[in-house]
Structure 1
């Protein structure tokens, strides 16, 4: 399968790296020239369980260098989705599928508006990646489930083929017939840890040592679950503590949430598509979300301080 990872940051490189090792023709698209140059010159270095290995990959700063592909995996930051997909039209032919594995809510509608709803697949992954240096990432893919599905919940041949290809590469992937529930299940994990990791600047190992942070995370998740219920979403999780536990399962102590990684780079986060989405949906359905409002405020304040 010819695959393009659109937005090959830490997670995109981790996924793209193992898919390359499985024999697929994978192109990693990242606007950062230093990242691309490092991967093309020496290969992509994956640190797995403390051991580094190098994978020869194809990397480029623009989708125009890739050509038509079978599958586009969208992993750009949420706020770049429209711009990135509009600039990647050259990747598409009649049968190209577009799969969002992004954090948060709303990407599928943005992608459908650009490429047509019939192309779009949705998914959520609990795999992780942490950038150590240009072209060097910690891989968190072992025993980390991924779920993908058609927007209408049908089980098509294409989504089954993609799931089988991912699983063969070591990405434990299943097909979901309740993809919005799947999206909300993953959102709960991001709600639990993303903003708290960003505000405290703590990697997972230290984040989970503070009982007060656990209590805050569980309260934020409980709000999100109440909002999901109001929206008519069927969740897998029934206890607010479970997403907090799921977030760190199988990941190393030095793993950093994507929001923290963004702040350390001096860039804005995806808070508007995670805790911010809970706040917006809560306002729509009349569900109070004070904890998530506070977490959004904290991240927004840090973003402003960095901008200055």
Structure 2
């Protein structure tokens, strides 16, 4: 076992949490998945079915619906939707070990801070780069990438030797599971970059119900994507970030090239009639832009259209 990280619990074992939990369990690390009843029942019956590299592998791992299982964790992978962050953080706060390490594997830039307001343990912002889906209960499909960027929530903690040792232990643990992890001194800046990518791809994929490759192939959509990039960059810069249009555009191109068949998580939520995280993506940019005096009309339109689709599905 990696020093100090003898057991991992995944809180919110959907497509993302299920994938990283499966990779750790596959490498022999003790993992417990906390998820919905149907998902847990399927895992208990047949193992977690991991579809990866053209193969299907049954990963045997513990699974439960009981949040109390988090009390056994040295490492917590916090993978719930942004809409549930505050509720779940309050729920696990009294259950965690004193020395548990909490990694926030979530979209958006403010989830780790939200968790840290409720738990006294160390919370680590984590940027997730993976294309996954959960086509049915007990099944996680991998479509591309599968790497993480981690770093201190507080920039002042960059030189904290004890924290660095803990982050190094995370890198070592995931390396044994063939998951690359990079430590960044500016993980919040990395989260802004990921937020930008999500703001570009998620709503358009959701509205059109099309994958990334189809989106970028249409010049009119590429122009819309560029408009989103400009707005998010303007808000990020007004918020003190160093993001630039050229760097952001290159990141978008890289995602489109690396995940051409991927449907965004928002598209998957909309297709299933589930609430999406759009309020924490484009909606966040609209709110933050308003606070900083930065116009965001394209983000506002995309946010509103996804909300309209969600309201229509809810009314059916």
Q: TM-score if structure 1 supplies the norm length?
A: 0.93
**Offset of residue 86 of structure 1:** 2.1
Unaligned runs of 5+ in 2: 1-5
- Write the mapping of 1:264-279 to structure 2, written as runs, cut at 5 A: 264-279=271-286
1:172 aligns with 2:176: no
1:5 is paired with a residue of what secondary structure? strand
Unaligned runs of 5+ in 1: none
- 2:138 maps to which residue? 135
Q: 1:248 aligns with which of 250, 253, 256?
A: 256
C-alpha deviations, 1:285-305, integer Å up to 9, x for none?
111111101110111101110
Alignment check: 8 A CA contact 1:28 1:60 kept: yes
1:192 is paired with a residue of what secondary structure? helix
- Write the mapping of 1:145-164 to structure 2, written as runs, cut at 5 A: 145-153=147-155, 154=158, 156-164=164-172
C-alpha deviations, 1:94-139, integer Å up to 9, x for none?
11011111001221221111103x5111111111211121111211
**Offset of residue 91 of structure 1:** 4.5
**Offset of residue 141 of structure 1:** 5.3
- 2:55 maps to which residue? 51
Shift in alpha-carbon separation, 1:66–1:151, aligned structure 2, 3 A: closer
- 1:305 maps to which residue? 312
C-alpha deviations, 1:213-242, integer Å up to 9, x for none?
222112101110111111111338734422
Matches of 2:244 and 2:153, distance apart in 1 = 18
**Offset of residue 90 of structure 1:** 5.6
2:71 is paired with a residue of what secondary structure? coil
- 1:78 maps to which residue? 82
2:133 is paired with a residue of what secondary structure? strand
- Per mean C-alpha deviation after superposition, the further-off stretch among 18-27 and 203-212 is 203-212
Alignment check: 8 A CA contact 2:211 2:260 kept: no
Alignment check: 8 A CA contact 1:220 1:291 kept: yes
1:221 is paired with a residue of what secondary structure? helix
Shift in alpha-carbon separation, 1:148–1:270, aligned structure 2, 3 A: same
Matches of 1:215 and 1:164, distance apart in 2 = 41
Alignment check: 8 A CA contact 1:197 1:260 kept: yes
Matches of 2:38 and 2:15, distance apart in 1 = 14
Alignment check: 8 A CA contact 1:276 1:293 kept: yes
Matches of 1:293 and 1:268, distance apart in 2 = 18
- Per mean C-alpha deviation after superposition, the further-off stretch among 199-208 and 226-235 is 199-208
- 1:122 maps to which residue? 125
Q: How many residues align?
A: 304
C-alpha deviations, 1:174-225, integer Å up to 9, x for none?
0111121011011111011011111111123433332222221121011101
- 1:202 maps to which residue? 210
- 1:111 maps to which residue? 115
Matches of 1:292 and 1:147, distance apart in 2 = 26
Alignment check: 8 A CA contact 2:109 2:188 kept: no
Matches of 1:146 and 1:159, distance apart in 2 = 12
Q: TM-score if structure 2 supplies the norm length?
A: 0.91
Alignment check: 8 A CA contact 1:189 1:246 kept: no
Matches of 2:144 and 2:93, distance apart in 1 = 29
Matches of 1:243 and 1:250, distance apart in 2 = 11
Matches of 1:92 and 1:169, distance apart in 2 = 24
C-alpha deviations, 1:50-103, integer Å up to 9, x for none?
221111121111221453211111110101111122222464111101111100
1:16 is paired with a residue of what secondary structure? helix
Q: 2:14 aligns with which of 9, 13, 36?
A: 9
1:18 aligns with 2:23: yes
